[in-house]
Amino acid sequence: MAPLTYLKIDYDLPFTLIPNWVKQAKVCTAEHILSLYNIKMETYSFTQSKNGNTHLTIWIKDEIPDETKAWLQWIIGDDCGRTYYNLKRIKKGIKNWNMLNRVHR
């Protein structure tokens, strides 16, 4: 079985502020967006960051290019500034390009 890869989305809202039904709506939206590109969500998790904000991690089986991952994260709701810097890091060939990985693993 191939290892799963993931997308990480940072919602700049406090974890305790977002009701479960909104989190579920975000997951349904993400699943729909991924399905448009024939990508299947395997599982997901919401976690609270060190500063109290909300992270969504989505695991997928599909191997997709890093630039596509960065754009999908943005489409699903990741921060515009983070997406910009992630794309710059990808273009420079930086392996650990996802800034969210550097802050919260």
Q: How many other CB atoms are found less than 10 A from the CB of residue 78?
A: 25
Reading the block at residue 88, the tokens are 């710059």
pLDDT, one tens digit per residue, over 67-89 is 999 999 999 999 899 999 999 99
pTM: 0.87
| DSSP code at position 19 | -
According to CATH, the topology of domain 5-103 is: Alpha-Beta Plaits (3.30.70)
Bridge partners of 48?
A: 54
Give CA separation, 87 vs 8, 82, 105, in Å.
Answer: 14, 9, 19
CA atoms within 13 A on the CB side of 86: 25
pLDDT, one tens digit per residue, over 9-62 is 999 899 999 999 999 999 999 999 999 999 999 999 999 999 999 999 999 998
Largest distance between two CA atoms of the chain? 39
